[in-house]
Structure 1
């Protein structure tokens, strides 16, 4: 099997379940099962493997724990400024959309990803998921309704300058922070089962500015950091002694204001950094 096809299978799985190592495990498990399958009745082995991976991912997502003990469950970020290949980098969904995907059930998520991300036709989706064309269209319509304005835009996202935010945060300049935020900005954090974070999503310029200053003073001001791109979105990765402590991901609106901040501090979701 070509490495590029293996990576494509891994991206299919990751976009559906949101955890990179689990996606890799799913692909490995599918390949091990495929070795034992009678191949004489398979016309297209690649299509067969894609179908196996997608359906395994859907089943896995149905069984997944959908909450964190601390904070809000967020997907595992994946670095896309140095992904394994151009193919993988282009096909990984942007982070804000990965978060929105949690509004969908696993089958809606799979249909949306196949149609909007991988340009499948409805009859192809129907074949992969063993449903009718009409059901595929219905699931896509339902998914779009739940996602609102969410679209598969990872490849086209504009790179934004995060340095004004860093400067304001480092100097605890609440007024400057507020000037960088959209009116409806939201903040969410995922501490997993071990790191205490804000329990619920926070909204509003003033609330989030004050919260970020408190977080920085108490947990981040003595950490080194680097600016990166995770799931096509500008991010700040904080480390201490080569251990990653936190990843902040930023989503911007069309006017260039920050509209969402996602804080991943769950150690399990930072191991691949």
Structure 2
């Protein structure tokens, strides 16, 4: 393959990760797309072929995944990133909150919405990817926007306003087991999504409400992870923390801040931590 073709990999990964919420699955889809490109022959537009093939492979993977049961709450695989640029569509669409929101959509709706709204593809290009008439592609994007609660002018849900220092204070209070302090920084309708994938101990349902969330987080940070090193980091463009025990990453958590802490996304499924810090997703 030529250098120009290989240079398409970051764009392909960007599409595949947002489609699948899994680095491992995204890497597999991208590799499969490259294999198909090598065997296709006579491709006039490598970019068009690779993005179209990657997206279609992701649609197939999503359809297969929805037939399988997942144990407990599902959280998108976390990736280590720099601090998000809130003006960037790529950054806004990388957060775990946004990727979870996309779970409301069918595989085709997800593909059409991402290609149009995040990657600025024309409807004619989207129709080619989906194998649908252009008018149908427009309808699919419109339906996806309605399901996500977006009007005709907003591209994404409103970006959270970060309170300076709130993330650091919140994590310190959780670590100290100070339930009252944690509760004071949580939004009233706070949520905690804890993903163990049935591999390790984790809450089997989403923890809802300020009081329950405060008790749960204080228990996990202040007791269960007491012997772990706690390292502040940026997860999918959002403030977060990595728990390390005996040199191995055992949990990654990120915060969604909207005035107070609106949601906490905790990943301890070992399958989703294997690529932590090494995965490259824009």
* TM-score above 0.5, yes or no: yes
Given candidates 21, 25, 30, the residue that maps to 1:22 is 25
Query: Where in structure 1 are there 5+ consecutive unaligned residues?
Result: none
Give 1:165 shift: 0.5
Give 1:125 shift: 0.8
- Determine the structure 2 residue equivalent to 1:50: 51
- CA distance in 2 between counterparts of 1:99 and 1:252 reads 16
- Determine the structure 1 residue equivalent to 2:101: 100
Q: Is structure 2 residue 74 aligned with structure 1 residue 68?
A: no
- Determine the structure 1 residue equivalent to 2:35: 32
Give 1:261 shift: 0.8
Give 1:201 shift: 0.9
Given candidates 216, 235, 238, the residue that maps to 2:240 is 235
Q: Is structure 2 residue 170 aligned with structure 1 residue 165?
A: yes
- CA distance in 2 between counterparts of 1:107 and 1:35 reads 26
Asked if the contact 1:248/1:261 (under 8 Å) is kept, the reply is yes
Deviations along 1:24-53, one digit per CA (max 9) or x if unpaired, are: 1111111112111121xx331211111111
Give 1:114 shift: 0.6
Q: Is structure 2 residue 181 aligned with structure 1 residue 179?
A: no
- CA distance in 2 between counterparts of 1:174 and 1:213 reads 6
- Determine the structure 2 residue equivalent to 1:252: 257
Residues 91/26 of structure 1: CA separation in 2 closer, same or farther (3 Å cut): farther
Give 1:135 shift: 1.6
- CA distance in 1 between counterparts of 2:92 and 2:181 reads 35
* Count of residues in correspondence between the two structures: 264
- CA distance in 2 between counterparts of 1:95 and 1:4 reads 26
Deviations along 1:201-255, one digit per CA (max 9) or x if unpaired, are: 11111111011112224311111011111111111110101111111111111xx
Asked if the contact 2:174/2:222 (under 8 Å) is kept, the reply is no
Deviations along 1:180-205, one digit per CA (max 9) or x if unpaired, are: 11121111111013112111111111
Where 2:35 maps in the other structure, the secondary structure is: helix
- CA distance in 1 between counterparts of 2:77 and 2:25 reads 10
Where 2:220 maps in the other structure, the secondary structure is: helix
Asked if the contact 2:95/2:236 (under 8 Å) is kept, the reply is yes
- CA distance in 1 between counterparts of 2:49 and 2:92 reads 20
Asked if the contact 1:9/1:27 (under 8 Å) is kept, the reply is yes
RMSD (CA atoms) = 2.5
- Determine the structure 1 residue equivalent to 2:79: 78
Query: Where in structure 2 are there 5+ consecutive unaligned residues?
Result: 277-282
Residues 249/82 of structure 1: CA separation in 2 closer, same or farther (3 Å cut): closer
- Determine the structure 2 residue equivalent to 1:119: 120
| 4+ residue segments displaced more than 4 Å | 89-92, 149-154, 156-160
